[in-house]
């Protein structure tokens, strides 16, 4: 039986506080502290206003410079590495031992999804180059692609990625958004490299960090956050330090971080901001719908004529609600809201403020609004955006 009961509004407050999206921006420690708080920041090649890993920092820190974001993730003093969490993510270096279970899974499988015709030979060549020449990108190793589409990888690239999967290589730096591969034995601190956790120890660490990052979550949410098997999550839940709770409208019992529960029932200073579709708050669409009653799908790979919200529709967070979506683009110094979708009648003002703030951050001095849903609100949205840009 759940020991505490949360209204849906309180569950939102708890989740937003845990995510660093509750009113005041997280300033102390900046981007590095934000990453430790979230436990994972998803990477993606799509860049509209900025790449997703930059948008995640912007949503929490405001107009943080993009160079500061890059330095925190991949600079010479960064305490990070890249690996597979729920997807390809930048992760706190301290969590290297917690992903041992995934490295073992790759070893047991014996291959990744790409076929590697001469795996042993290619891997030996990659390791020898890195041992002799230091950290290198795939292009420096001999080329990332065979010459076809982006997924048509060269044998060298496949070998490097396989060695990264199993933990012999690691990425702790990017150059021009290209991974730089290095030997794990050289790039990972010896005490972390020597730590050998069981699957249960890995899950215990990752469930605890997911619980702190999510604030309140179902077991499935905790599993999805770092890509853990649900059976493994169930084995460690009782020792995770999370508190069992019930949430209004949720059929299953949830688990909450005890520290985050203090946000329930408190007043909340509102944030109004555009969120990346890959933001840690919302990338798991089932949880997004359950928590905010918003159905959202990334439509970048949907044929244009079938899109509902747009290519890279960014949800607009306003206080404890998601009030609209904006599909943005840029044309020089003009931020173009290609489509604005209002999810409630009074959303024009908050959406306009979010657009104006984002425009300022990326150096746009003008914002234009094209399509609006509902169409009857187009004039109101245009007027609100013009006023917000002028202010």
Q: Which tens digit of pLDDT belongs to each residue from 283-329?
A: 999 999 999 999 999 999 999 999 999 999 999 999 999 999 999 99
CB 168 within 8 A of CB 72: no
Could you list the beta-strand ranges (E) of 238-333: 243-247, 254-256, 272-274, 314-318, 321-331
pLDDT at 144 > cutoff 80 = no
pLDDT of residue 100: 98
C-alpha Rg value of the chain to the nearest Å: 22
Q: What pTM was estimated for this model as a whole?
A: 0.92
More confident residue, 81 or 177: 81
pLDDT digits (tens, 9 = 90+) for 91-130: 999 999 999 999 999 999 887 666 556 678 889 999 999 9
The CA-CA-CA angle for residues 233, 80, 262, to 5°, reads 55
Instruction: Give the separation between CA 67 and CA 71, rounded to whole angstroms.
Output: 6
Other C-beta atoms within 10 Å of 387: how many? 13
Instruction: Give the separation between CA 247 and CA 10, rounded to whole angstroms.
Output: 9
pLDDT of residue 145: 64
pLDDT of residue 111: 72
pLDDT digits (tens, 9 = 90+) for 226-282: 999 999 999 999 999 999 999 999 999 999 999 989 888 777 776 899 999 999 999
pLDDT at 153 > cutoff 90 = no
Provide the H-helix boundaries in the chain: 8-18, 30-38, 52-61, 66-74, 100-109, 119-133, 138-141, 155-165, 184-187, 190-193, 199-214, 219-226, 230-236, 285-292, 348-361, 378-390
298: left (phi over 0), alpha (psi -120 to 50) or beta: beta
Give the residue among 250, 201, 227 at the shortest CA–CA distance from 15.
Answer: 250
Instruction: Give the separation between CA 290 and CA 276, rounded to whole angstroms.
Output: 18
């Amino acid at each position: 039986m759940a020991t505490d009961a949360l209204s849906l509004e309180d569950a939102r407050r708890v989740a937003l506080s845990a995510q660093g999206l509750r009113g005041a921006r997280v300033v102390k420690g900046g981007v590095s502290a934000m990453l430790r708080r979230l436990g994972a920041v998803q990477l993606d090649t799509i860049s509209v206003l900025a790449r997703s890993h930059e948008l995640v920092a912007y949503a929490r820190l405001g107009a943080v410079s993009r160079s500061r974001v890059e330095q925190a993730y991949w600079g010479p003093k960064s305490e990070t590495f890249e690996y597979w969490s729920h997807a390809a993510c930048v992760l706190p270096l301290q969590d290297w031992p917690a992903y041992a279970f995934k490295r073992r899974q790759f070893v047991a499988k014996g291959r990744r999804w790409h076929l590697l015709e001469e795996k042993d030979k290619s891997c030996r060549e990659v390791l020898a180059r890195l041992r002799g020449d230091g950290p290198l990108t795939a292009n420096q190793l001999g080329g990332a692609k065979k010459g076809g589409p982006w997924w048509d990888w060269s044998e060298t690239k496949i070998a490097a990625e396989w060695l990264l999967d199993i933990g012999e290589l690691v990425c702790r730096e990017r150059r021009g958004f290209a991974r730089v591969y290095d030997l794990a034995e050289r790039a990972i601190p010896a005490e972390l490299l020597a730590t050998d956790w069981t699957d249960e120890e890995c899950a215990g660490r990752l469930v605890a960090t997911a619980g702190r990052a999510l604030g309140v979550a179902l077991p499935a949410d905790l599993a999805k956050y770092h890509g853990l098997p649900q059976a493994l999550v169930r084995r460690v839940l009782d020792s995770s330090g999370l508190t069992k709770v019930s949430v209004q409208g949720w059929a299953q019992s949830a688990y909450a971080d005890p520290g985050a529960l203090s946000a329930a029932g408190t007043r909340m200073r509102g944030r109004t901001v555009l969120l990346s579709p890959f933001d840690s708050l919302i990338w798991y669409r089932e949880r997004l719908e359950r928590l905010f009653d918003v159905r959202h799908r990334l439509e970048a790979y949907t044929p244009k004529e079938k899109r509902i919200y747009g290519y890279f529709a960014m949800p607009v967070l306003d206080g404890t609600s998601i009030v609209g979506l904006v599909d943005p683009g840029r044309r020089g110094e003009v931020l173009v809201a290609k489509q604005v979708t209002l999810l409630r009648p009074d959303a024009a003002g908050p959406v306009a403020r979010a657009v104006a703030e984002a425009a300022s951050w990326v150096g746009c001095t003008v914002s234009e609004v094209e399509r609006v849903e509902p169409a009857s609100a187009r004039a109101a949205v245009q007027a609100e955006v013009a006023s917000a840009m002028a202010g």
